[in-house]
Structure 1
Amino acid sequence: MSTTTTRVAVVTGGSRGIGRGVVRRLAADGFAVVVGYAGKRDEADAAVEEVVGAGGRALAVQADVADEAAVAAMFEGAEEAFGGVDVVVHAAGRMTLSPVAELDLADLDALHRTNVRGTFVVAQQVARRVRAGGALVLFSTSVLGRPLPSYGAYAASKGAVEALTAVLAKEWRGRDITVNAVAPGPVATDLFLEGKSPELLARLADEPPMQRLGTPEDVAGLVAFLAGPDGRWIHGQVVRANGGLV
Structure 2
Amino acid sequence: MQIPQFGLGTYRLNDQILINSVKTALDVGYRAIDTAQIYENEAAVGQAIRESGIARKDIFLTTKIWINNFSEQRLIPSLKESLQKLGTDAVDLTLIHWPAPSQGTDITEVMQLLLEAKQQGLTQQIGISNFNIALTQQAIDSIGVEHIATNQIELSPYLQNQHLVDYLREQNIDVTSYMTLAYGKVLNDPTLLEIAAQHQATSAQVALAWALQQGYAVIPSSTKRENLISNLKAQDLKLSAEEMQMIAQLERNGREIDPPELAPVWDK
State TM-score, norm by structure 1. Answer: 0.41
State TM-score, norm by structure 2. Answer: 0.39
